[in-house]
Amino acid sequence: MPIPDYETIMLPLLKFAIDGKEYSSKEAVNSLAKDFKLTDEEKKQLYPTKKVSIFYDRTHWALTYLKHANLLESTKRGFFRITERGREVIKQQPKQIDDKFLSQFYGG
């Protein structure tokens, strides 16, 4: 399986946090890597220009977008939890969460 893009990671990431507990981004990365059945090689694959793993980076982008849409919230540096809005989104049982889906939460 190829390394998923950040949009593909968003829904599983939100579901990961559904219990309302505080999680570290590292815990999320490790759990999602298992869910996506990434090999050790895929988990360690780096961008040519950055010294960060591709999956780690994409998971952090998913976290960033979910936080901007107020579906997740930062609790302290490197930690997050689901918000009430995030719980409501999960109740809707979306097939996927992507930039288009999140656009409903931006602007005003």
**Interhelix angle 84-91/6-16, nearest 10 degrees:** 100
Q: Which amino acid is at 24?
A: S
Taking only the tens place, the pLDDT of each residue in 2-15 is 899 999 999 999 99
Domain range for 64: 6-105
CATH number (domain holding residue 36): 1.10.10
Is 77 a domain residue?
A: yes
Taking only the tens place, the pLDDT of each residue in 42-90 is 999 999 887 899 999 999 999 999 999 999 999 999 999 999 999 999 9
Quote the pTM value. 0.94
Taking only the tens place, the pLDDT of each residue in 13-51 is 999 999 999 999 999 999 999 999 999 999 999 998 878
Total domain count for the chain? 1
Q: Are 90 and 66 in contact (CB under 8 A)?
A: no
